[in-house]
Chains A and B, each alone.
Chain A
Amino acid sequence: MSRTLALALVLGAVAGPAAAQVATDREAVRLLSRAESLQARLERRDSLGRKQRYQERLARRFDAGDVTAILANSVGDATGHRVVAGASAFLSELGAIPPSFISSCVVVAYSATGKDSVLRAEGLIRRARIMADALSSPDTLADGAIVAVVIGRAYRESLDADWKAWLPEDVALVWTMKRDGAAAAQELMAGETDAGARCLAGDVARCRLWLGVDRDPTPYATRYRPAEIRRLLMKQFYGWGRVGGLPAECAAGSDRACLQVVDRGEWLSPVPASPRARAALVREVRALHGAATLRRALTDSSGSVGARLARAVGISEDSLIYEWRSWVLTGGGNARVAAGARDAMPALIFAGLLLLAAARSGRWR
Chain B
Amino acid sequence: MRLFAIVRREYLERVRSKAFLIGTLLGPLLMAAFMIGPSALMSKQRGKPLRVAVLDATAILRASVEKALSEQRIAGQPRFVVEPPGEGPLEVVRASLRSTVLSGAIDGYLYLPPDALARSAAEYHGKNVSNVMDLGLLDKAVEDALIRFRLSGAGLPEARVQELMRRLELKTIRLSESGEREDAGGSFLLSMILLMTLYTTVAIWGGALMNGVIEEKTSRVVEVMVSSISPSRLLAGKLLGVGAVGLTQFLVWAGFMAGLSFFAAQAAAVSGARLPEIPWAVLVLFVVFFLLGYFLYGAMYAAVGASVNSQQEAQSLVFLVLMPLILAVMCFPMVLASPDSTLSTVLSLVPFWTPLLMFLRASALMPPAWQIALSIVLTLGTIVVLNWAAARIYRVGILMYGKRPGFREILRWIGRA
A binds B: no
Seen from chain B, the residues whose Cβ lies within 8 Å of a Cβ on chain A are: none
